[in-house]
Amino acid sequence: MTGSIFDDIINNNNVINILNQHNEIIASTEHKVPGTSMVNIKNEIFKNKFKNIDITYRQISYIPLWLREINWEIVSINFCNNRIKEFDPSLIPRSCIELNISNNMIEKINNPNNTIKYLALNNNLIRSFKGSLFASLDNLEISYNNLEAIQFPPNLKICRISHNNIKNIQKIPNSLDVLIERC
């Protein structure tokens, strides 16, 4: 880890614009907006208490540590289409119930998160999934990985696991209503 997500965004020449409810730019990483800086961007994120965070197509390589600083209700986080290799669910705010981290380079998941209800991990490099790490999960999308073994979360209702190399499926929970194995 080199620094904050904001450092990564600047180093990769990405632009973050913070918009108000009228879609007017109130802070930007571009120097065209007078009086803005990375400190202003971070302050706007925390001050406005957004319910959804969308950090897609930013070429970030890790889950930002500043997520742990969020002390209001975040419902949804989207990290699609980045270069994230390690996914630490313990960095996700406890209020988050929807997490999309598809199209990255994640190989494994080590730490638990007992609040996420919807988890999308499609198009990564995951070899095994340990459902016991996600007790509250009821919708899992984990297609197009290198999945060889899967342990289902205990309360899972919907699971998409197509286009994997599954050799070992542990006990299927009674709660499971939909299992999409092949397209």
Mean pLDDT by groups of 10 residues along the chain of 183 residues = 47 54 55 47 59 85 81 86 91 91 93 91 95 93 95 94 88 87 63
Please tell me whether residues 95 and 18 are part of one structural domain.
Answer: no
Q: Would you state the pLDDT for residue 33?
A: 42
Is the Cβ–Cβ distance between 64 and 92 less than 8 Å? no
Q: Which domain holds residue 6?
A: 1-48
The whole-angstrom separation of Cα 81 and Cα 104 is 6
113 shares a domain with 23:
no
Residue 66 φ then ψ, to 5°: -65, -15
Same domain? 86 vs 154: yes
> What's the confidence (pLDDT) of residue 74?
82
How many domains does the chain divide into? 2
Q: Note whether 145 and 71 are same-domain residues.
A: yes
pLDDT of residue 94: 87
At residue 109, the pLDDT reads: 87
Give the per-residue pLDDT at 112.
84
